[in-house]
Structure 1
Amino acid sequence: MSKDVTARCERSDGWWAVEVPELPGLFTQARRLDQVAGMVRDAARMLDVKVGEVNVEPVMDEATARLLCELFDAKGEAKAAQERASKIMRETVSMLRSDGLTVRDVAAVTGVSLQRVSALQDA
């Protein structure tokens, strides 16, 4: 049976030093984070442990962690705003078309291409 684990990764001299708390004594390293899961599985095999999912957890200093939090928050807000704008655009196109405006007029009023108006009205 395989075991899901967390790989805690800290930068050290151009490498990621990797520790797996669920498997005491399992340490490895990787140049890039995308290599960590494979390195953990290889190291676990040497300990006769089968690893399933590897959750790669980079450990950052406080300032970097704070910036990453702000980044993810901003990305979430941007996604929500884009979803809201898309909904409003669909509603606007629908309303303008039902008011009798041509596709060209709707495109001119909303500032999008003719193709986009057509796609929105067909959605």
Structure 2
Amino acid sequence: MTEAEAPKSYRAIAELDGDWWVVTVPELRGVYTQGRTYDQAKSMARDAVATMLEVAANRVVVTMEVHLPDHAETAISQVEQARAARDEAAAAEQRTLAESARRLRAAGVKVVDAAALLDISKQRVYQLLADC
């Protein structure tokens, strides 16, 4: 897909109203939609934007911004932060494993022993060494 063909992105605001998610797209006047589930509302928002612009739905990306009462959206933010921290910790673990595998091999430790010491498979040790 060329840059000229890249989908355009729009911000949508989703608010819970009883059993329905009500969605508005501030950038496009008159674009309102709803869905019984969050995923349905997101899909409906994408379709509504595409319809308004008279383009195919695959030419539109909708980023949902959730507004909930009593600052309940803080819960979503906390989960996102926890996941980001988890992902960073996993990346740090992989970097440390790779460096440790390299150091163990440089010290003359056999791959099978490095695997046991690092509590990973010997195949993973070979992968880590190949990535260095």
TM range (shorter): 0.7 to 0.9
Could you tell me which runs of 5 or more consecutive residues in structure 1 were left unpaired when the two chains were aligned. none
Report the counterpart of residue 27 of structure 1 in structure 2. 32
Q: Is the alpha carbon distance of 1:87 and 1:38 closer, same or farther for their aligned partners in structure 2, counting shifts above 3 Å?
A: closer
* Percentage identity across paired residues of the two chains: 32
The count of corresponding residues between Structure 1 and Structure 2 is 120
Q: Distance in 1 between matches of 2:8 and 2:65?
A: 17
Secondary structure at 2:29's aligned position in 1? coil
Q: Distance in 1 between matches of 2:114 and 2:8?
A: 56
Q: TM-score, normalised by structure 2?
A: 0.73
Letter in 1 for 2:45: V
RMSD (CA atoms): 2.5
Could you tell me which runs of 5 or more consecutive residues in structure 2 were left unpaired when the two chains were aligned. 1-6
Q: Work out whether 1:59 is the aligned partner of 2:67.
A: yes
Q: TM-score, normalised by structure 1?
A: 0.77
Q: Is the alpha carbon distance of 1:33 and 1:100 closer, same or farther for their aligned partners in structure 2, counting shifts above 3 Å?
A: same
Q: Work out whether 1:117 is the aligned partner of 2:122.
A: no
Select the structure of larger CA radius of gyration: 1
Q: Work out whether 1:50 is the aligned partner of 2:54.
A: yes
Q: Distance in 2 between matches of 1:69 and 1:42?
A: 26
